[in-house]
Structure 1
Amino acid sequence: MTEKMTISRLASAADVNVETVRFYQRTGLIDEPARPYSGYRTYGGDDVRRIRFIKRAQRLGFTLDEIASLLKLEGSQTCAATRDLAARKLAMVEAKLKDLLAIKTALAMMVSHCDSEHPSVGCPIIQALLDD
């Protein structure tokens, strides 16, 4: 028999906050079970797996809309569609890394100028940001 758990036990098992579970329900990422006569909704292992899937996908940079699309994929097209989405995400990450490397280079140069110069007027970093 599948273990049934309350929302707080579900959140704990999935390593998220109860409000995260409620948010996922409001946005349609997970279903909200019907309230039985006892008054306590219960959840199962599939709900834990779904929330963990969502969190892992978020850590990989997928948006909630993209995750919703992933969760809807079924059938023979699943792998190709998922691969396309992941390839687009990879291209975005590579572009961000390129931008971050340029930022790192610029900041390192500014810090180096600041360390090597003894400015008589103002800070070289502030001056670099002011210059065109």
Structure 2
Amino acid sequence: MNEAPENLTIGTFAKAAGVNVETIRFYQHKGLLPTPERPPGGIRRYGNADVARVKFVKAAQRLGFSLDEIGQLLKLEDGMHCSEAAALASQRLDDVRAKLADLHRIEAVLTELVNECHTHQGDVSCPLITALHDG
């Protein structure tokens, strides 16, 4: 980036971080990003550290962390609280594994129902529709 530190307008900041301006404001509202002071008669300015913080938030979101969890991670970002960060990641991993188990169960049920649909022909009731009605 060619901008000087702490000299980015919110639009330039958003573009550098790969988000829109409303995302910046939302993160500020949620406490994930500080809101710089507005100089008298001027506009707020942001810097490279702010861009890095937004990129951190987006990377954590891609791993499935909630905004509340990301807020907790940001409090640990000095790197000296690895066990606390690992505990948060472990909870996330447990959630991912539970979702995977659910998806495998769903896959098995749908596979069975689709196969049943292919074997039933004529005026016989559709096994998929019947299964959905039966709950």
Compute the TM-score of the two structures, normalised by the length of structure 1.
Answer: 0.92
Among 108, 113, 118, the residue aligned to 2:116? 113
What is the Cα deviation at residue 121 of structure 1? 3.8
What is the Cα deviation at residue 130 of structure 1? 2.0
Identity %: 49
Q: From the superposition, tell whether residues 129 and 25 of structure 1 become closer, same or farther in structure 2 (CA, over 3 Å).
A: same
Q: Name 2:74's counterpart in structure 1.
A: 71
Q: Which amino acid aligns with 1:9?
A: T
Given the alignment of the two structures, is residue 104 of structure 1 paired with residue 102 of structure 2, yes or no? no
Q: Name 2:33's counterpart in structure 1.
A: 30
Q: Distance in 1 between matches of 2:130 and 2:71?
A: 46
* 1:96-129 deviation per Cα after TM superposition (whole angstroms, max 9, x unaligned): 1001110011111111111121151432211011
Q: Is the 8 A contact 2:6 2:45 kept in 1?
A: no
What is the Cα deviation at residue 54 of structure 1? 0.3
Among 73, 92, 97, the residue aligned to 1:89? 92
What is the Cα deviation at residue 47 of structure 1? 0.2
Q: Give the stretch that moved more between structures: 116-125 or 44-53.
A: 116-125
Q: Is the 8 A contact 2:120 2:126 kept in 1?
A: no
What is the Cα deviation at residue 44 of structure 1? 0.2
Among 54, 58, 73, the residue aligned to 2:61? 58
List structure 1 runs of 4+ shifted beyond 3 angstroms. Answer: 74-77
Q: Which amino acid aligns with 1:73?
A: L
Q: How many residues align?
A: 132
Q: Name 1:49's counterpart in structure 2.
A: 52
Structure 1: unaligned runs, 5 residues or longer: none
Q: Name 1:20's counterpart in structure 2.
A: 23
What is the Cα deviation at residue 37 of structure 1? 2.5
- Root-mean-square deviation over aligned CA pairs: 1.7
Q: Is the 8 A contact 2:17 2:52 kept in 1?
A: yes
What is the Cα deviation at residue 3 of structure 1? 5.3
Structure 2: unaligned runs, 5 residues or longer: none
